[in-house]
Amino acid sequence: MNEKVFTGSIDKLRNPERFERLQVDRVLNYSLAGCDVQSVLDIGTGTGLFAEAFFRRGCRVRGVDCNEDYLKVAAELVDGVEFSKALAEKLPFDNGSFDLVFMAHVLHEADDQVLAVREAYRVARRRLAVLEWPYLEQQ
């Protein structure tokens, strides 16, 4: 059971100020640099912001989140990405299933951060990229 399910406003997750602050293109450039990435797992996908950005870069993307409301919104907003419910600490994928496993602003929400990172590493074939949120006091 995940006790720390993020329940923030969907509008807050999809507003222009947040997009600018997240520097999505810059984050993707760092995440993809020097690595042949065809498939991406976006853990804690929320409304699919980063999943959509990776898809636009030509990657096959799977987004997972433990919040069903966010997953419904993501599926409505983002074409070409498969979204499903999963906990970061218990991913339903085989070892090495994705070239890149991406975790943005989700690690601080995990009940067991070490287990979440281990699971992400387990399903990563080439790279694990973790972006953590420096603006916690602004939430």
DSSP helix/strand/coil, 45: coil
DSSP helix/strand/coil, 133: coil
Q: Domain spans of the chain?
A: 10-133
* Phi-psi category of residue 46: left, alpha or beta, with phi > 0 → left and psi -120 to 50 → alpha: left
- What confidence score (pLDDT) does residue 129 get? 98
> What's the CATH code, domain 10-133?
3.40.50.150
Contact criterion met (CB below 8 Å) for 42 and 64:
yes
Identity of residue 25: D
- What confidence score (pLDDT) does residue 13 get? 62
Entry pTM: 0.86
- What confidence score (pLDDT) does residue 22 get? 77
- What confidence score (pLDDT) does residue 12 get? 63
Tell me the C-alpha distance between 82 and 75, whole Å.
Answer: 8
pLDDT, block means (10 residues), the chain with 139 residues? 52 65 89 97 96 97 96 96 98 99 93 97 98 64
Contact criterion met (CB below 8 Å) for 41 and 102:
yes
Tell me the C-alpha distance between 104 and 45, whole Å.
Answer: 8
- What confidence score (pLDDT) does residue 10 get? 60
- What confidence score (pLDDT) does residue 16 get? 67
